[in-house]
Amino acid sequence: MSAVVDGGAPGGPQEAAALRAVAEQVARAAGELISRGRPDRVEVAATKSSPTDVVTAMDTASERLLRTELARLRPGDGFLGEEGGHEPGSSGLTWVVDPIDGTVNYLYGLRAYAVSVACVRDDAHPLGRPDPATWTVLAGCVHDPAGQETWSAGRGLGATLADARGTRRLSAPAGPALGQALVATGFGYDAERRAEQARVLAGLLPRVRDLRRIGTASLDLCSVAAGRVDAYYERGLNPWDFAAGLLVATEAGAVVTDFDGAAPGGHGLLAAGPALHPVLREALAPG
Ligand code: IPD
C-alpha cells in the first residue's frame, strides 16, 4: 500500500480527490477482509443499544484495519468509528467510518452490507467530535463487497459507481409523482422508536408505489443516487451510517435534508430527487 497521502491545498478539488482515493483504498481493503473472512456461521460478539443491536468479531476487525490504515496514510487526522468511538486528530479533518453497515444482514448471510468511509471537516468543532449539523463531507466511499460495487464521491467532483463494467458518473433522477415512488426506509434498534416509525410507515404505504427495507443506510443513499429507489428516509441514524452515502447522493444531484429542510442527522434524514423531495417531505410531516 502507498505511503502518507498529502491532500493538497485545504478545501480544493485536489484535496477532495486525494481524500476520495484514500477512502476508496481503505474501504476496499476492509471489504475484502469482511467478505473473505465471513465464517459460514457468524456469531454475535456483543450487543450495544438493545439486544438486537449486535457487534460481530468482523465489525471489530474491520474497524481496526480502517483505523490502522488511516493512521498510516493520514497521520494527524481524527477518527470516529461505530465500534471504537472518537479519537481526535490535529489536522481538522476526521474520518467517519462504519466498518460493517448492515451488520444484521451480514449476520444472517444477506448480501446487502457495506463498508462506509467518509472524511469530514467541522469548523465549529475543529478538533472535537464532528457534528452532522455543522460538518462538511469532503470525500466518501461506500464499498459493497458482496455486490462488488464501489460508490464514491468527492465534494464538487461528482459521484461514481465502479463495478465489473467500469466506472460511471451518477445522476439521480428528479423523482416521480408520490404515487409512483419506490421509497426505502429503515428502523432503529430502540423498540419505542420503532413503534413511532411503524405509525409513520402505515400512513405512507397507501400513498406510494411501495416501500423497501434494505437494511443498510449507506446503500439506501447510494441507491437514491443511482435511481434504484426514488427516496430514502429514516430517523435515528448515527453519523457513520450516512456520512459517505450523504455525499454520494448529493454529488449525484439528490437532495438530502432532515424533515424540516435543514442538515440531516440522527433526528431525521430524507433523500430524494429534487422534484420528489418536497412532496415526500410534506407527506412525512406530522398530520
Ligand atoms: C444500521 C443500518 C440500518 C439502519 C439502522 C442502522 P448498522 O446500521 O444502516 O439499515 O436502519 O438505523 O443502525 O448497525 O448495521 O451499522
In angstroms, what is the span from residue 16 Cα to ligand 1's centroid?
26
Please state, in angstroms and rounded to a whole number, the distance separating the CA atoms of residues 215 and 226. 17
In angstroms, what is the span from residue 9 Cα to ligand 1's centroid?
34
Angle formed at CA 105 by CA 181 and CA 103, multiple of 5 degrees: 110
Residue with CA at minimum distance from ligand 1 atom 12: 188
In angstroms, what is the span from residue 229 Cα to ligand 1's centroid?
17
Is the CB of residue 241 less than 8 Å from the CB of residue 217? Answer: yes
Predicted confidence pLDDT, tens digits, the chain (287 residues): 456 777 666 778 999 999 999 999 999 999 999 999 888 888 888 888 878 777 788 999 999 999 999 999 999 999 999 888 999 999 999 999 999 999 999 999 999 999 999 999 999 998 899 999 999 999 999 999 999 999 999 999 999 999 999 999 999 999 999 999 999 999 988 889 899 999 999 999 999 999 999 999 999 999 999 999 999 999 999 999 999 999 999 999 999 999 999 999 999 999 999 999 999 999 999 87
- Which atom of ligand 1 sits closest to the CA of residue 106? 15
- Which atom of ligand 1 sits closest to the CA of residue 59? 16
Give the other-Cβ count within 10 Å of 91's Cβ.
15
Angle formed at CA 116 by CA 115 and CA 120, multiple of 5 degrees: 155
**pTM attached to this predicted model:** 0.95
Backbone phi and psi for residue 276, each to the nearest 5 degrees, phi listed first:
-80, -30
- Which atom of ligand 1 sits closest to the CA of residue 240? 16
Residue by residue, DSSP assigns 215-275 as: S-HHHHHHHHHHTSSSEEEESS--HHHHHHHHHHHHHTT-EEE-TTSS--BTTBEEEE-TT
- Which atom of ligand 1 sits closest to the CA of residue 104? 15
In angstroms, what is the span from residue 103 Cα to ligand 1's centroid?
7
